[in-house]
Structure 1
Amino acid sequence: MSAPSPTASLILAPRRRAVHGVRIGILVLDTKFQRLPGDVGNGTSWPFPVQYAVVHGATPDRIVRPTLDDDVFQLFARAADDLVALGVDGITTSCGFLALLHPQMVAHCPVPVATSALLQIPLVQSMLPAGKRVGVVTMDKASLTPAHFRAVGAPTDLPIVGIPPDGIFRRNQQTSAAVVSHAEHEAEVVAAAAALLRDHPEVGALVLECTNLPPYSATLEATFNLPVYDIVTLVEWFHAGLRPRRFNGA
């Protein structure tokens, strides 16, 4: 009789799950505007399967704010519980402002949680040359507070720029536009980043708070020759740990 493996006692028992083969669950705000490829809420953005759950009642006007109502956490906790019961191994969200909920969600969920693209800021900052800083592009600068950054362990004094509150991008979101123009949105995002870099030449990398901004990340990198990090880079990294690649000969 062979001896038991020295690692046998360390292996977790298989979970019972309703859905198999999906590692990432995405908590989506209660919205109706068109989400383009690259947006967290467009299924074609991902090179792996994801499981969505709409958090009913979590509208942008309730989430994109300096503070959150007390009942908002419960909305997300219940939706996260449903995703875990389905079988996902990690959870993310469709709004960077949910950084405010990060400590609560991590404490609540039995699987890892990556609430916001802002989680990447400490890592990105640690990689930059001396004298360079992370710059943040957000959908709503007025609502992004030091509390959002503190919740994910990021510096609170970073250069920030917002998408124009009276522009087409914000209007399309507020009116739940069924069809949006990639070119019109991109022009506003590039102009916002240009303004940030003019005012803050020390910016050495961009982190995009908003999960609707990744469709324009490649253009930002090509235009300004700076690294760009967003919710897609975060979730792809997150997924890579939940399902590491296998290599030939392994």
Structure 2
Amino acid sequence: MILQGGYNNHGAPIGVISLDSFFPKPEGHIRYAGTFDFPVIYKIVKGATVERLIRECDPKLLEPFTQAARELEADGVKAITGSCGFLALHQRQIAQAVNVPVFMSSLIQIPLVAQMLSPRRKIAVIVANSDALTPDHLQGAGITDQPIVIAGMQDQPQFSEVILRGRSNDLDMQIFSDELFSVAERVLSENPDTGAIVLECTDLSHFAPKLYERFNIPVFDLNSLMRMVAATVQRTRA
């Protein structure tokens, strides 16, 4: 048996292009080391803050994101994702820059989820900032006319202060939970025909099991997509 070399690292199926942020990443977060049962390589893009990506939509970030993808590919990963769902904006450009599969956002699951549900069912998409989500983000994720309803976390005080604006590095997890569930409760009560939830924001994944427990509908996030991709690019089971 001959092992193929040429990489600095081996055995890590997924590489993550990561924003430059210092708030806590609890268990279940894509950047919490114990979230996945397979190795992950992280590439932090210095200066790529949440505010620059989401609110400012800074086009100057595309080049360092693309370079990070090339470096992850050179490091030997089999697929590449990102730590923020708003990277959907750059999905196509980053995918064109490398030769491994790229899935920059949980949002690219939406067409699949829509196919899985009855046409009478909507998809509730909970995002970090619904005001900043543009048609270009949706187009980058391959979303066209799927029946989605979008709810944003931007008006929740702690989420805005810590996650979106980076003014504090401390999270009160009970407040975080209360803020998320208030947003989820509202969008689902206004849309009782919702058949699934998609979490755009990786900071919300910690609460995915509790969301499922509370609302009893499928909850998709980047973690669910990441596990599926890892199982395909490093396949070990029939």
- Normalized against structure 2, the TM-score is what? 0.93
Task: Note the alpha carbon deviations across 1:27-65, whole angstroms, 9 max, x for none.
Answer: 110111111111111111111110011011211111113
Q: Is 1:114 matched with 2:103?
A: yes
Q: Find the counterpart in structure 2 of residue 49 from structure 1.
A: 39
Candidates 168, 174, 177, aligned match of 1:183 = 174
Tell me the residue number matched to 1:197. 188
- The answer for the alignment partner of 1:138 in structure 2 is 127
Other-structure match for 1:129: 118
Secondary structure of the 2:236 match is: coil
* CA–CA distance in structure 2, aligned partners of residues 96 and 40 of structure 1: 11
Once the two structures are TM-superposed, the CA of residue 130 in structure 1 deviates from its matched residue by 3.4
Unaligned runs of 5+ in 2: none
Deviation at 1:104, TM superposition (A): 0.4
RMSD between aligned alpha carbons?
1.7
Uncovered stretches (5+) of structure 1, i.e. residues with no partner = 1-12
The separation in 2 between residues aligned to 1:167 and 1:69, in whole angstroms, is 24
Contact 1:77/1:108 (<8 A) preserved: yes
Contact 2:78-2:234 within 8 A present in 1 as well? no
Please give the alpha-carbon distance, in whole angstroms, between the structure 2 residues aligned to 1:20 and 1:164. 39
Query: How many Å apart are 1:164 and its aligned residue?
Result: 4.3
Residue number among 73, 78, 93 corresponding to 1:89 in the alignment: 78
TM-score by length of 1: 0.88
Cα separation, 2, equivalents of 1:164 and 1:24: 29
Which residue does the alignment assign to 1:17? 7
Same amino acid, percent of matched pairs = 33
1:31/1:176 contact within 8 Å kept:
no
1:39-92 alpha-carbon deviations (Å, 9 max, x no partner): 111111111110011011211111113x73332110101111111111111110
> How many residues are aligned here?
234
Give how far 1:178 is off.
Answer: 3.4
Indicate the structure (1 or 2) with the bigger Cα radius of gyration.
1
The separation in 2 between residues aligned to 1:197 and 1:116, in whole angstroms, is: 22
Q: Deviations over 1:128-179 (max 9, x none)?
A: 1230021100111100122211111113662111114242122122235433
Q: SS in structure 2 opposite 1:207? A: strand
